[in-house]
Structure 1
Amino acid sequence: MAGSDAITQTATLDDRVVPFTVPDLDVRGRVVRLGPSIDTVLERHGYPEPVSRVLGEAAALTVLLGTALKFEGRFQLQTKSDGPISMLVVDFNAPDNFRAVAHFDEERLQQAIAAGATSTGELLGEGHLGMTVDQGTQATRYQGVVTLTKQSLEEAAHQYFRQSEQIPSRIRLGVGSIVNGTGRHWRAGGLIVQFMPHSPDRLRAADLHPGDAPEGHEILASDDPDGISDDAWAEARSLVETVEDHELLDPMLESERLLYRLFHERGARVFEPILVHEECRCSRERVLGMLRGFSTEDRRAMIADDGTLGVTCEFCSRRYTFEPAEVEAGLSPSP
């Protein structure tokens, strides 16, 4: 794809989430396509390519899960691990905006690149992934934690749903870039499908091998990691596993068209898209409140040579500068 006209024509296909259901298979899901929003986040920081790719995956996953919230609140994905990428943080603020940042060790990253160890699991290493739902009060805050053992973010998400939500789920994530007349631009996409049958009996895991079954008795085993032996779920899962990265990233392929390709034999019911965008939660008032939370000694140590206190937001790189008297006296911030 090349040329600004093509970009204009496909603008409405990007930065949106399309919810859907497939009643015949008892599944529901969402498709996310991130274009200018994720490109803005990644280009703002100028991350090396492997870091941008991993953070793009995390952003697509966070938006997929965050848009399921039925209330105004925050969904956060955060990793802490021992790999070259030591931390990822992606905040989704319901109903429609997100921000993201990564911390990494440049020297270790270059060593990993030289060794060809650039998969998501290798770059994250071992540690933990936390997913937090926050409605604004401590009483309504919930967190699920998954152990990272050099697996992909897709695999970590599957593990989260098995142990925290107990909902059979399959997720596909893709990150890449396109080159057109205006340069190189990052894109990210994702698809989640969840098995939600009316009968809870269909969610039961397959029985363990009986051990003393009569000779010649056929033992039916499930190849699903959740142990679910259900034909509808097996079909939905296998269809999702056929999705390739280019299908999630192609700026000319509508999410609705992708769903038709997957489920045309069964019929997918598509709902109103959710438009999303990149937006930071920082503000002068928030930063001022944070500074006032430090001790007097700490604030004095933060004063620069020019006599001011400066703070840069790690998410959006916006710089805030304060006079010490403004912080100490609790004056209202200047516009």
Structure 2
Amino acid sequence: MTAHTEPHTRPPAAEAVDDRVTPFHVDGLDVRGRVVRLGTALDAVLAHHDYPPAVKRLLGEAVALTVLLGSTLKITGRFILQTRTDGPVDLLVVDFTAPQDVRAYARFNAERLAAMQAAGRGGDSAALLGHGHLAMTIDQGLSVNRYQGVVALEGAGLEAAAHQYFTQSEQIPTRVRLAVAEEMHPGGAASSWRAGGLMVQFLPTEGGHLRPVDLHPGDAPEGTALPQAEEEDAWMEAQSLVATLEDIELVDSDLSSERLLYRLFHERGVRVFEAENVVARCSCSQERVMNVLSSFSREERDTLVEDGRITVTCEFCGRNYGFRAEEVMGADEADEASAAN
């Protein structure tokens, strides 16, 4: 006879720790997911550029989403989230190198952003992005082909784009919540930024099954009734619980990730796993920049030479790298480029 042993249980940790990703599983709902809380790491990412608050907020959402997705990688590699759109913020790039390094960059049009803010829409993430596409890329190095999923951005925010990505590319029922806040400090101290995110996915195991939802055929005549798959009761319950989550709970510096998960799922039994760190770190280096310059054509390198030197600035961290032209081009080629300039 084998004794029945109850799973180990303990109260949720009360201490809130930033810059961590906490994986979890809710057995009673066949749901797994992750919670990310970002503090110092997000501030370090944003500090490299003088972004307006609206851009910081949007980029903070992108960083939180990228960390949620990239931290699921069980391989050595990079997860890259990139948007290209027609909005005032026309480019976002977030680069997560497993298992913990993240860097990010945003490009924006200051005049269009100011006009939007004057119209009272400065904090609308969907309006900041506009229309275009979002690409998510997994890069495992030269020996493995890249995987890339692309979804349209059609006037909605990053949460909606993530939902569309999982429906279209992975066909895994998924819900994502993102929040960013500027934290003000007393005594005139500089403010800081915080971000939080929650991702839940419905992945039934024993006795469960997924009901795939057909994608829209695209060419069906207008008004055609399309088949709708009924959602599992457990997944409907999980979505209802996630819908109760407020932004303040995701960014509250006094609320631990474990206590947050307990609030949402304790009736169904939530299990947490070892948390993973997140570090703001740029992967640029003198050697990497040199390799990139060496891959340019002679004509491209010619345009970079100024006073016998080539200077490159990393868009992510703002670090400058300087080279003598002959280091990159060869002495004869460098002389010709300097004479032309």
SS of match in other structure, 2:199: strand
Confirm or deny that 1:103 pairs with 2:110. Answer: no
C-alpha distance in 1 between matches for 2:207 and 2:110? 49
The Cα shift of 1:297 comes to 3.1
Q: Cα RMSD over matched residues?
A: 2.0
* Correspondent of 2:257 among 255, 258, 264: 255
Match of 1:218? none
How far the C-alpha of 1:206 sits from its partner, in A, is 7.8
State which of 289, 296, 299 in structure 2 corresponds to 1:297. 299
* C-alpha separation in 2, matches of 1:43 and 1:268: 36
Structure 1 residue 144 displacement after superposition: 0.7
In the TM superposition, what are the counterparts of 1:100-249 in structure 2 within 5 Å?
A: 100-118=104-122, 119-137=124-142, 139-181=144-186, 182-198=189-205, 202-204=209-211, 227-249=229-251
Residue 78 in structure 1 maps to residue 82 in structure 2: yes
SS of match in other structure, 2:99: coil
Q: Paired residue for 2:320?
A: 319
Greater Cα shift, 24-33 or 295-304: 295-304
Gaps of 5+ in 1: 1-8, 208-225, 331-335
1:326 is displaced (CA, Å) by: 1.6
* Mapped partners of 2:68, 2:120: distance in 1: 29
Deviation at 1:44, TM superposition (A): 1.9
Matched residue of 1:162: which SS? helix
Residue by residue over 1:214-262, the C-alpha shift from the partner in whole angstroms, topping out at 9 and shown as x without a partner, is xxxxxxxxxxxx8442111111111111111111111111000100111
Q: Partner of 1:214 in structure 2?
A: none
Q: Which amino acid aligns with 2:65?
A: L
Q: Are the counterparts in 1 of residues 22 and 35 from structure 2 also a CA contact under 8 Å?
A: yes
Q: 1:16·1:273 contact (CA, 8 Å) conserved in 2? A: yes
Contact 1:205 1:228 in 2 (8 A): no
Match of 2:334 in 1: none
**Residue by residue, what CA displacement relative to the aligned partner does 1:285-333 show, whole Å, maximum 9, x if unpaired?**
011111112222332321224x321100000000001111221249xxx
Structure 2: give runs of 5+ residues left out of the alignment: 1-13, 215-227, 332-341
Q: Which amino acid aligns with 2:91?
A: M
Q: Provide the C-alpha distance between the structure 2 equivalents of 1:229 and 1:164, rounded to a whole number of angstroms.
A: 19
Query: For the structure 1 residues 227 and 123, does the alpha-carbon distance in structure 2 shift closer, same or farther, using more than 3 Å as the test?
Result: farther
Q: TM-score, normalised by structure 1?
A: 0.86
* Residue 113 of structure 1: how far off its partner (Å): 1.0
Residue 147 of structure 2 aligns to which amino acid in structure 1?
A: Y
Partner of 1:216: none
Deviations 1:162-196 (A, max 9, x none): 01000000100000111225420011110000000
The whole-number CA distance in structure 1 between the counterparts of 2:104 and 2:213 is 39
Match of 2:32 among 4, 28, 34: 28
The 3-state SS of whatever aligns with 1:299 is helix
2:218 alignment partner in structure 1: none
Shift of 1:205: 5.1
User: Structure 1 residues 265 and 184, CA, compared in 2 at 3 Å: closer, same or farther?
Assistant: same
Structure 1 residues 321 and 200, CA, compared in 2 at 3 Å: closer, same or farther?
farther
Q: Does 2:91 match 1:87?
A: yes
Tell me if the contact between 1:44 and 1:316 (Cα under 8 Å) persists in the aligned partners: yes
SS for the counterpart of 2:327 is helix
Q: 2:222 aligns to what?
A: none
Task: Count matched residues.
Answer: 302
